[in-house]
Amino acid sequence: MAHKHGHGRERIQFANAEDKQEFSKYPTKAGRRSLSRSISQSSTDSYSSAASYTDSSDDETSPRDKAQVNTHGSSDFCVKNIKQAEFGRREIEIAEQDMSALISLRKRAQGEKPLAGAKIVGCTHITAQTAVLIETLVALGAQCRWTACNIYSTQNEVAAALAEIGVSVFAWKGESEDDFWWCIDHCVNTEGWQANMILDDGGDLTHWVYKKYPSVFKKVRGIVEESVTGVHRLYQLSKAGKLCVPAMNVNDSVTKQKFDNLYCCRESILDGLKRTTDIMFGGKQVVVCGYGEVGKGCCTALKALGAIVCITEIDPICALQACMDGFRVVKLSEVIRQMDVVITCTGNKNVVTREHLDRMKNGCIVCNMGHSNTEIDVASLRSPELTWERVRSQVDHIIWPDGKRVVLLAEGRLLNLSCSTVPTFVLSITATTQALALIELYNAPEGRYKQDVYLLPKKMDEYVASLHLPNFDAHLTELSDEQAKYMGLNKNGPFKPNYYRY
């Protein structure tokens, strides 16, 4: 005879004593429902986006199957809905207010058109901030075709606004894997137009052109890459002697690395976690995998809100930095059972394995702040004994047979761009750096750059920083002739040797 057990106003019937014990182990809604193991929506079903407020979730036709034209009669683009263009224009105008450096670069160089004749194919996050960069490149004389480097981060209305002004954009939020490569291919492969510059984030576009269109690849004047992952892939190509064009590693330019990786993640990690899970950080046990610039930024923010943070590291120097900053350095397997939140930012793969996931406690939140979605072994979770439940946009609960659930954010993809936004000001720094790198490579005299990966010259790094100082009403001190001579410097910079670490 089954006995009844009141739980608040709900009455749940247990078939046997084990179920009752099972129930008390996870006293959450999850526990209650896991008895009748819910068959949940699979995460490949389409769902409407929360971030893009003009989306209509009832329109399920794939953008690939829709014939759309902009008001100029062009149909050389593929976006969710070209009618959203004026919403997108408003987003871009708002972004411009916080990207004054890029606008001032646009004004300074508009006359001489340093990118006249440049045919740039780009693969980045398509957001209002990127649009300001793309429109700057167009104002400087370039023709642009653009696609998304992340299947979730595209702002549909911004893509529409770009398509409206004649930029061939192939991107929408929530693309499938197949759509992703289809978009890249349509960007590169078009009649009567051949790219001579590549701007990439993550290396997927570079890889595609290299593999599928080697003749285009060989004729490109330069590649500009902005992510750790993409830069790693470029160095691999270079090492194998297969990089036949000069490439600019923007990721490791000081302005990009310190600001985009460190200061930006310091602000956006909390934003992404709050928006998706409403978590309170005080007293939570958090492990951050990797103590590079991104890891340092995340830890600073988490510690400030009272979280108890520990670090995993492979590099003894970064590990010692973490120790000096007051964090425990541990192996993931030693602490995984106690953790409330697990954050990866290593740029590596399989940092969080199925074994780790199996050992996590109920309700543990798992997310990734690295560019690539390889850090958490998400594929291993798509197995028949686990139930996936989509609880809100970009939040999945993965439920084990015993009722334990793990909260996975953005299916292991980049948290801040998939689940929240990134401060515009920081993107202004990265975008200005990208624009200068493109101008530099495009206009470099024959032979200045060999077939290799280069860092942005320090003078340009300093220039990017100086363009952003007016925002803060910051006043730089100038060296006197005597001081400059004493230090052995040019009064106008560069002010530090190349080996200086900021």
pLDDT of residue 42: 32
What CATH number is associated with residue 319?
3.40.50.720
* Residue 166 annotated in ligand binding: no
Task: Let me know if residue 438 belongs to a domain.
Answer: yes
Q: Which of 353, 387, 419 lies at the terminal end of a domain, its last residue?
A: 419
With respect to residue 451, please indicate whether it lies within any of the assigned structural domains: yes
| Secondary structure element (H or E) that encloses residue 233, with its range | helix 228-239
Express each pLDDT in 42-72 by its tens digit. Answer: 333 333 333 444 444 445 789 998 899 999 9
Residue 202 marked as a ligand binder: no
Three-state DSSP class for residue 228: helix
- Shared domain check, 404 and 271: yes
Cα 39 from Cα 104, distance rounded (Å): 55
Domain stops at, among 419, 434, 455: 419
Is there a single domain that holds both residue 267 and residue 370?
yes
What CATH number has the domain bearing residue 150? 3.40.50.1480
Report the distance separating Cα 125 and Cα 62, nearest Å.
20
Q: Give yes or no: residues 349 and 408 share one domain.
A: yes
Q: Which of 397, 312, 295 is nearest to 351 (CA)?
A: 312
Which three-class secondary structure state does DSSP give residue 170? Answer: strand
Question: Residue 292 annotated as binding?
Answer: yes
In a domain, 46, yes or no: no
Q: Quick one: 394 and 274 in the same domain?
A: yes
Alpha-carbon span 432 to 423, nearest angstrom: 15
Residue 260 assigned ligand-binding role: yes
In the chain (502 residues long), the average pLDDT of successive 10-residue segments reads 46 46 41 34 34 48 90 94 96 94 91 96 95 97 96 94 97 95 96 96 96 95 92 94 94 84 89 93 97 95 97 98 97 97 94 97 95 90 96 94 96 83 84 95 93 91 92 94 95 89 84
* 405 and 437 both lie in a single domain: no
Do residue 319 and residue 362 come from a single domain? yes
Residue 102 covered by a domain: yes
Q: Three-class SS of residue 313?
A: coil
Instruction: Tell me: do 349 and 288 sit in the same domain.
Output: yes
On whether both 413 and 432 belong to a single domain, the answer is: no
In a domain, residue 75? The reply is yes
Examine the domain organization and report whether 218 and 282 are in the same domain: no
Q: Are 101 and 219 members of one domain?
A: yes
207 lies in the same domain as 309: no
pLDDT digits (tens, 9 = 90+) for 210-237: 999 999 999 999 999 998 889 999 999 9
Q: Are residues 300 and 190 part of one domain? A: no
Q: Is 477 left (phi over 0), alpha (psi -120 to 50) or beta?
A: beta
Q: Look up the domain containing 390 and give its range.
A: 263-419
501 within some domain: no
Give the pLDDT of residue 156: 96
Query: What does pTM read for this prediction?
Result: 0.74
201 is in an annotated binding site: yes
112 marked as part of a ligand binding site: no
**Cβ(305)–Cβ(282) under 8 Å?**
yes
Is residue 333 within 8 A of residue 345, CB to CB? The reply is no
127 assigned binding-site residue: yes
| 226 among annotated binding-site residues | yes
307 in a structural domain: yes
Whether residue 297 is annotated as binding a ligand: the answer is yes
Residue 221 lies in a domain: yes
Total domain count for the chain? Answer: 2
Residue ending a domain, choose from 355, 386, 419: 419
Q: What is the pLDDT of residue 433?
A: 94
- pLDDT the model gives residue 17: 46
